[in-house]
Amino acid sequence: MDDLARELIIDRYQNPQHKGRLDPHDLGYEDDNPLCGDHIRIELRVDENDVVTEAVFDGHGCSISQASADLLVEKIIGKPLAEVRAITKDDVLESLGIELGPVRLKCALLSLKVLKGGVYGLEAGQASDELL
């Protein structure tokens, strides 16, 4: 991993900008990465035009899972849900700025899986990798 990307990730991990809870919230979803125990919860407030007005994440795990969640949540604030649904895994990897092997890819994409589970209004545990 190149040093600059790693610096960004570690900075976001140690000083997340969007970590917390929203009470009340309009959409909320959470999931784990069973391989390593990463956990992410994302909560959103959405206005009457289906635009995300506020978004936060909460959770624990490795630097990549947590930094990815922080960057993802930042990216969707102010966006209509239609655009949020269109976010791809390449978008997430691009904002992290690193190449990942298959194991760490799961860490990086957990937040996107959780976000999609929330915006598609799935039941707990129903979000799958096919959403990515």
* Binding-site ranges for other proteins (CB under 8 A): 1, 6, 10, 14, 35-37, 39, 60-64, 104, 107
How far is it, in rounded angstroms, from Cα 22 to Cα 24?
6
Strands 38-46 and 52-60: antiparallel
Token pair of 25, please?
Answer: 């919230």
- The single-letter DSSP state of residue 129 is G
Nearer to other proteins, 100 or 132 (CB): 100
- Give min distance, CB of 77 to other proteins, in A: 26
Nearer to other proteins, 36 or 77 (CB): 36
How far is it, in rounded angstroms, from Cα 132 to Cα 1?
23
- Give min distance, CB of 19 to other proteins, in A: 15
- Give min distance, CB of 87 to other proteins, in A: 24
| Count of other CB atoms within 10 angstroms of residue 57 | 26
Nearer to other proteins, 11 or 26 (CB): 11
